[in-house]
């Protein structure tokens, strides 16, 4: 049995992953990994996820340059969620979200509605030029 066998993969062979900023503790994003993505993350020391929409591995920052340097890989008590402690590279302050924000969790529930509470750091159109 390898360390990858200890993870409780879902019926699609995936595990949910939370990326947390190492220094601040901010939750940056949520994504999915398959065995290959997690093995590559451990090997490279940079986050590699599984894109469910594109059905392929996705090295975080491959298009945007906003790479996640991995400091620690942790697993929860049920072995079915992975936590990455990362440093968000590529822009200061770090941009983890494809909307150009620091964190994907920029919407806050207030007075019965969702409000964007964190600013766009960089226009996504300038990040993802084709």
- C-alpha closest to that of 16 among 108, 84, 96: 84
Q: What is the pTM of this model?
A: 0.90
pLDDT at 129: 64
Q: What digits encode the pLDDT tens for the residues 59-114?
A: 998 888 899 999 999 999 999 999 999 999 977 778 998 999 999 999 999 999 99
pLDDT at 82: 98
β partners of residue 72: 85
Q: What digits encode the pLDDT tens for the residues 31-47?
A: 999 999 999 999 999 99
The domain limits of the chain are 3-94
CATH number of 3-94: 3.10.20.810
Arithmetic mean of pLDDT over the chain? 94
Which carries the bigger pLDDT value, residue 52 or residue 91?
A: 52
Distance set, CA 24 to CA 1, 4, 62, 86 (Å): 35, 28, 24, 10
pLDDT at 1: 83
- C-alpha closest to that of 21 among 78, 82, 102, 76: 102
Site of tokens 């079915």: 80
Give the integer Cα–Cα distance in Å for 11 and 7.
12
pLDDT at 16: 98
Three-state secondary structure call for residue 89 = coil
- C-alpha closest to that of 89 among 62, 107, 116, 111: 62
């Amino acid at each position: 049995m390898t360390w990858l066998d200890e993870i409780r993969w879902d019926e699609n062979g995936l595990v949910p992953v939370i990326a947390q900023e190492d220094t601040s503790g901010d939750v940056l994003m949520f994504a999915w990994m398959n065995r290959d993505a997690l093995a590559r993350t451990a090997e490279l020391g940079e986050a590699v996820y599984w894109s469910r929409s594109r059905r392929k591995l996705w090295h975080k920052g491959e298009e945007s340059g906003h790479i996640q340097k991995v400091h620690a890989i942790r697993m929860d008590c049920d072995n079915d969620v992975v936590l990455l402690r990362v440093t968000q590279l590529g822009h200061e302050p770090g941009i983890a979200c494809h909307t150009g924000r620091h964190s994907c969790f920029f919407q806050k529930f207030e007075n019965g509605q969702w409000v964007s509470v964190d600013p766009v750091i960089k226009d996504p159109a300038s990040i993802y030029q084709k």
